[in-house]
């Protein structure tokens, strides 16, 4: 009985109730075909903006810019490892697994917390923000991540707190990768650049890409 639960033990239940309430507030109930199309794109398509930004920016970046891009990529890799580890330690079911709300895109019944998509996206933003030359881009990409977070709740495959957990995971990943900024990241750039120059020698000679 609830009256027998100590006050401190009731906190997780209140948090989960809030999580469910916020989810039901955002989750679509009677969406139009256009809303579902937009939700599908934002849920699964917009995330490709983040790796695409890293790849295309590399082509015109100087050494400092490339190191910021590599910092972001390393942060994203760490975030994916952290997200996987959290899911192994604490499995939180997705809304459709417990029969809550409406699900509009197919998804395996994997752990919902934290969101892998947003852990990846916000880790890239946090990694870029560690380098002054890419802080403006980090802010713009962080704003672009917000509709992804909204859409994955709207389409019924994540809870709001999964997104909060993803933000913390992304920030933690960038913090873990911060000591690598002055050692591994420059070395990694120097290792990659010769292969890049070899593969893209012709467009580099044409001036379409930076050496």
Whether residue 83 is predicted with pLDDT greater than 70 in this model: the reply is yes
Contact 185, 127 (CB under 8 A): no
Whether residue 54 is predicted with pLDDT greater than 90 in this model: the reply is yes
pLDDT (0 to 100) of residue 140: 97
pLDDT (0 to 100) of residue 7: 43
Its pTM stands at 0.91
Mind listing the pLDDT tens digit for each residue in 96-130? 999 999 999 999 999 999 999 999 999 999 999 99
For residue 65, give the 3-state DSSP assignment.
Answer: helix
The residues, any chain, with a CB within 8 Å of residue 53's CB and separated by 6 or more, are 124, 137, 141
Mind listing the pLDDT tens digit for each residue in 121-158? 999 999 999 999 999 999 999 999 999 999 999 999 99
**Mean pLDDT across the stretch 33-38?**
97
The residues, any chain, with a CB within 8 Å of residue 149's CB and separated by 6 or more, are 115, 118, 158, 163, 166
What share of the chain has pLDDT > 70, as a percent? 94
How far is 130 from 120, CA to CA, in rounded Å?
Answer: 16
First-to-final CA distance of the chain: 68
pLDDT (0 to 100) of residue 95: 97
**Mean pLDDT across the stretch 48-56?**
97
pLDDT (0 to 100) of residue 183: 87
Look at the block and give the residue holding tokens 């469910």.
20
Backbone angles phi, psi at 207, to 5 degrees: 85, 10
Mind listing the pLDDT tens digit for each residue in 171-191? 999 999 999 998 899 999 999
**Mean pLDDT across the stretch 19-31?**
96
């Amino acid at each position: 009985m609830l009256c027998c639960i100590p006050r401190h033990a009731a906190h997780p239940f209140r948090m989960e109730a809030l999580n469910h309430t916020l989810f039901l507030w955002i989750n679509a109930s009677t969406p139009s075909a256009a809303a579902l199309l937009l939700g599908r794109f934002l849920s699964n398509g917009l995330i490709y903006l983040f790796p695409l930004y890293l790849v295309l920016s590399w082509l015109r970046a100087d050494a400092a810019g490339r190191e910021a891009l590599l910092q972001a990529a390393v942060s994203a890799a760490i975030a994916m490892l952290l997200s996987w580890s959290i899911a192994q330690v604490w499995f939180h079911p997705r809304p459709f697994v417990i029969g809550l709300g409406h699900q509009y895109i197919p998804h395996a019944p994997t752990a919902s917390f934290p969101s892998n998509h947003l852990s990846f996206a916000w880790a890239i933003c946090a990694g870029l923000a560690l380098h002054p030359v890419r802080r403006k881009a980090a802010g713009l990409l962080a704003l672009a991540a917000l509709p992804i977070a909204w859409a994955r709740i709207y389409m019924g495959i994540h809870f709001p707190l999964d997104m909060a957990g993803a933000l913390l995971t992304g920030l933690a990943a960038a913090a873990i990768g911060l000591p690598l900024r002055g050692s591994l990241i420059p070395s990694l750039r120097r290792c990659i650049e010769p292969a890049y120059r070899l593969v893209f020698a012709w467009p580099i000679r044409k001036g379409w890409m930076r050496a």
